[in-house]
Amino acid sequence: MKSPFLIILFGVSMLCSSAASCDKGADNVITGNNTGNNKDDNMQNSKIKIKVNSKTFTATLLNNKAAKAFKEMLPLTINMIELNGNEKYFDLSKSLPTNSSDPGTIHNGDLMLYGSKTLVLFYKTFSTTYSYTKLGKVDDASGLATALGSGNVTIIFEEE
């Protein structure tokens, strides 16, 4: 009697371990090719443009609730404020979903959310102990620091 029960139990557990529908986390369902294992690092095929003066950068958004909510706000033309010689920030009009963590290192081109309303675009790489919700990353951040300059700057975020 125990043998058929164990076989069925084993079969169901094998199906759930290999099927995405058994996963409770909806944020890690990816369309397209993906090789990442960390759900916050999984990039979706969602591109946006970031326009700074005459320079345009392309960024890829992560596949998470915060990035999706941010994309729904686009297009945005905002005046981002300079902070610490490594970032520009802007307080959004509404809160976005959060899943913050300490990234340890911030990278040039990281687009993140501090708290639930502060959009941050980083233009230098440095170590941090602060927690952020990752939104995405500029695909090629070369020239980003120069384009952003040393003061406040008007930036346009729009869908590609």
As given in the structure block, the two tokens for residue 77 are 């033309």
- CA distances to 16, 20, 77, 141 from 102, in Å: 31, 27, 28, 21
Options 3.20.20.100, 3.30.43.10, 3.40.630.40, 2.40.100.20; CATH for 44-159 is 2.40.100.20
State residue 24's pLDDT score.
32
Cα(160)–Cα(158) distance, rounded to whole angstroms?
6
Cβ 93 vs Cβ 70: under 8 Å: no
Per-position DSSP letters for 76-113, written without gaps between them: EEEEEEEETTTEEEEE-SS------B--SEE-TTEEEE
Beta strand 43-52 with 153-159 is antiparallel
Model confidence pTM above 0.95: no
Cα(72)–Cα(48) distance, rounded to whole angstroms?
11
Q: Calculate what percentage of the chain has a pLDDT beyond 70.
A: 72
Q: For the segment 30-74, what is each residue's pLDDT rounded down to a tens digit? A: 223 333 334 444 445 699 999 999 999 999 999 999 999 999 999
Cα(80)–Cα(150) distance, rounded to whole angstroms?
11
